[in-house]
Amino acid sequence: MMNTSRTKQRAEGSGGAWRLNPLDMLMSSGIGKALTKLGIAPRPESSESLLDLAGAILSLRGRASGPALASAFFDLYEASDLADRHAFLARVHDLHPRNREAIDSAIAQWLERRDEASAHALNEATESRTQRLIRILNLAPQGTQRLIAMRSDLLSAPERTTSLKILDKEMEAAFASWFNAGFLELRKIGWDSPARLLERIIRYEAVHSIDGWEDLRRRVEPADRRCYGFFHPQMADDPLIFVEVALTRQLPDSIGSIIGPEREETGAREASHAIFYSISNCQEGLRGIPFGNFLIKRVVGLLQEELPHLSTFATLSPVPRFAKWLAGERGAEAGPPKGEELRREAARYLVGARSGSGLPHDPVARFHLGNGARLEAIHAEADRSQNGIKQSHGIMVNYVYDLADIEANHFALTELGTVVASKDVMELAEGSQPREGKKRNRAA
């Protein structure tokens, strides 16, 4: 055991009172005494203590102690500094690899019997021990949220080692199952929503920042505004993703016409267009879990029920990687073109530029086009914010979700590599030629 001088720490805001640290609190509890009897005594260094506790969790057969140990583990993990958390995450998978002997035995059993029992045994044998650890840690109070925070720590690690990549894949696989869209609740977020939820909407908005409560009110209270979010049962007032919607009479050509304080309000019954102008993922630890496509389709369904006269569902979207791509094409010293030439370059980028996977280079384009939308229009000077100028020289675009064509558009992109775009956009793209000496991107 550690000596008294090292086992106590001052509690913040306690006026100088002393309290045991999380590790000592665990070891002095009933579960800690039981661990001691089993010969498990975590070492004092934070990352070593975390590894010891993880080993204890995996070594105990009884399920009843799982929640208590998982809770104690998280108490210690959250009290550790980020460097110790990273050290734990970098080593835990290597210390608990798959059981090769068990896998060999299960394979032999399957080859001999080929029955359901041997198939089940093979499935159990091939599951990694860190996958089991993730499941047990989820038993802790608020275990799901705490695991999401742990993955956020993992994603912030300064080095992406093979061990961290494997652990990341295992956490992502667990979250993909737990956060299946069928398990999530779609809720409308309004000005009458709980204050703690509205505070999170302000904080999580990732596309067009919300400048305080009055700005938020303009986005969720008027009759021509909607906001919807996906929620998990264990995170009642903490959205996973949310979308802001504007009801308009036409396709908008600038973000100012949507969120500007002087905009004209449109009666919900007078609107013909529903514009998705901001989609924000809220949990960094859930990066890679595909919520957005399900969210848009569910929201379209709700809006059709509420306002069946709506004829067009579209976006006003940023083009976050355009400026960087254009600098690579023209040379950073050349600076961006203006007006129509800028629109032509944006069309060439969106229609022709590809990532290494062969899909559109721009992540927002990849998202909407992959969901079956059509690239409809490109607007210059549409986002004059500092971020809009930096990322895209002010360019924004409309993607249209024509429900009758969604499946065909998705097929065209994923199977044929073709970006489905309006005639206007295609004419812009064809009118812009690559600079000499630059590699031509594959056009749709």
Q: Is 368 a catalytic residue?
A: yes
Q: What is the DSSP letter of 274?
A: E
Q: Is 393 a catalytic residue?
A: no
The answer to whether residues 325 and 441 touch, using CB atoms and an 8 Å cutoff, is no
SS3 content of the chain, % helix, strand, coil (to 5): 50, 10, 35
Q: Pinpoint the alpha helices (H) of 246-358.
A: 256-259, 292-306, 322-330, 339-352
Q: Annotated catalytic residue: which of 46, 47, 49, 317?
A: 317
Q: Name 274's bridge partners.
A: 247, 313
No. of helices (H) and no. of strands (E), the chain? 21, 10
Dist CA 242 CA 228 (whole Å): 5
The answer to whether residues 430 and 348 touch, using CB atoms and an 8 Å cutoff, is no
pLDDT in tens, the chain (444 residues): 333 333 344 344 444 444 456 666 666 666 666 666 656 666 766 788 899 889 888 887 655 567 888 888 998 899 899 999 999 999 999 998 888 898 999 899 999 999 999 899 998 888 889 999 999 999 999 999 999 999 999 999 999 999 999 999 999 999 999 998 888 999 999 999 999 999 999 999 999 999 999 999 999 999 999 999 999 988 888 999 999 999 999 999 999 999 998 888 999 999 999 999 999 999 999 999 988 888 999 999 999 999 999 999 999 999 999 999 999 998 878 889 998 999 999 999 999 999 888 899 999 999 999 999 999 999 999 999 999 999 999 999 999 999 899 999 999 999 998 999 999 999 999 885 544 333 333 333
Q: Name 236's bridge partners.
A: none
Residue closest to 173 by CA, chosen among 227, 131, 223: 131
The answer to whether residues 75 and 26 touch, using CB atoms and an 8 Å cutoff, is yes
Q: Annotated catalytic residue: which of 368, 379, 393, 432?
A: 368
Cα 130 to its chain centre, rounded Å, is 22
Dist CA 434 CA 331 (whole Å): 12
Q: What is the DSSP letter of 354?
A: B
Provide the pLDDT for residue 89: 97
Q: What is the DSSP letter of 332?
A: G
pTM: 0.82
- Angle, CA 355 vertex, CA 349 and CA 356 arms, to 5°: 150
Q: Which domains does the chain have, with CATH numbers?
A: 4-178 (1.20.140.90), 181-315 (3.40.630.180), 318-430 (3.40.630.150)
Give the helix/strand (H/E) hosting 87: helix 82-95
Provide the pLDDT for residue 438: 39
Q: List CB contacts of 17: < 8 A, sequence separation 6 or more.
A: 10, 11
The answer to whether residues 210 and 323 touch, using CB atoms and an 8 Å cutoff, is no
